[in-house]
């Protein structure tokens, strides 16, 4: 039984990286980590979320449904429309670190919306996409010594 699943793990390559990396399965790495892993986990735990949504507290009261909470970014809905998404994932459009991150976050938003559309009416599981704002994490730091990631981290981006 699972009442809430929060999908929050992610990567952001250095803006200076300049080249697409693929997983061993041939999937664009940022999209695989930031979206595909979350999607697979949510699909795998859907039945546990359904059971959690149907659960009761100690007083016989319903718990108000299950929740799939996908932590996304404003980059998922501010900068990227859905047109051309398939071409980008397949590698037919120019790769950039910011675009890779944005497309992965757009995929998160679309996943939460579609999960909610499919799961809420039948299972009582809501799909929710949240943008936490600018949070001082190490996500934007880079392994390179270009200084950009360190500077962004220090100013809270």
Is 101 known to be catalytic?
yes
How many CB atoms lie under 10 A from the CB of residue 140? 22
Of 101, 115, 149, 152, the catalytic one is 101
Residues identified as active-site: 101
């Amino acid at each position: 039984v699972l009442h809430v699943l929060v999908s929050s793990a992610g990567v952001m390559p250095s803006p200076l990286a300049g080249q697409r990396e693929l997983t061993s399965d041939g999937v664009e790495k940022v999209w695989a980590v930031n979206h595909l892993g979350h999607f697979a986990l949510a699909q795998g735990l859907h039945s546990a979320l359904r059971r959690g949504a149907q659960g009761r507290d100690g007083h016989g009261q319903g718990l108000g449904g299950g929740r799939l909470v996908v932590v996304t970014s404003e980059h998922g809905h501010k900068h990227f429309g859905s047109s051309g998404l398939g071409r980008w994932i397949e590698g037919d459009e120019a790769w950039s670190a910011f675009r890779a991150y944005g497309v992965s976050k757009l995929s998160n938003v679309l996943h939460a919306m579609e999960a909610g559309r499919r799961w809420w009416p039948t299972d009582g599981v809501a799909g929710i996409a949240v943008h936490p704002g600018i949070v001082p994490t190490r996500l934007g730091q880079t392994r390179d010594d270009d200084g950009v990631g360190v500077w962004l981290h220090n100013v809270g981006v």
